[in-house]
Amino acid sequence: MKKLSCQVNVAQMMKEPSHQAEVHTQLYFRDCAFVAEEPVGSWVKIVTINHQTTGWVLKSQFTELDIQHEDTFPYIVFGHHTSMLNEHHTLPLLNGTYLRESDITSLNQTNQLIAIDAIRPEEAFKQQLLQSYLQAPYHWGGTSIYGIDCSGLAKMFYKFFSIHLPHLASAQILQGEVLDFLENAICGDLAFFENDASEINHVGILLNASEIIHASETNGKVAIDSMDNHGIVNKKTGKRTHSLRIIKRLL
Phi/psi of residue 110, nearest 5 degrees: -80, -10
- The yes-or-no verdict on residue 51 having pLDDT over 70 is no
Q: In which residue ranges of the chain is CATH 3.90.1720.10 found?
A: 123-249
Q: In which residue ranges of the chain is CATH 2.30.30.40 found?
A: 3-65
SS3 230: coil
| CATH code of the region 123-249 | 3.90.1720.10
Furthest C-alpha separation in the chain: 55
Interval 65-81: pLDDT, tens? 987 767 789 999 998 88
What's the CATH class of domain 3-65? mainly beta
Closest CA to 28 of 75, 68, 69: 75
14, 55 contact by CB (below 8 A): yes
First to last CA, the chain: 33
User: How many CB atoms are closer than 10 A to CB 20?
Assistant: 6
Q: In what order do the strands lie in the sheet with 3-6?
A: 23-28, 10-14, 54-58, 43-48, 32-40, 3-6, 62-65
The whole-angstrom separation of Cα 60 and Cα 71 is: 21
The fraction of the chain above a pLDDT of 70, given in percent, is 99
- The yes-or-no verdict on residue 205 having pLDDT over 80 is yes
The angle formed by the CA atoms of residues 57, 62 and 68, to the nearest 5 degrees, is: 115
Phi/psi of residue 111, nearest 5 degrees: -75, -10
Quickly state the pLDDT bin for 161 (edges 50, 70, 90). Answer: very high
Tell me the whole-structure pTM to 2 decimals: 0.94
CA distances from 27 to 62, 82, 185, 233, 240 (A): 10, 17, 30, 32, 33
Quickly state the pLDDT bin for 61 (edges 50, 70, 90). Answer: very high
- The yes-or-no verdict on residue 22 having pLDDT over 70 is yes
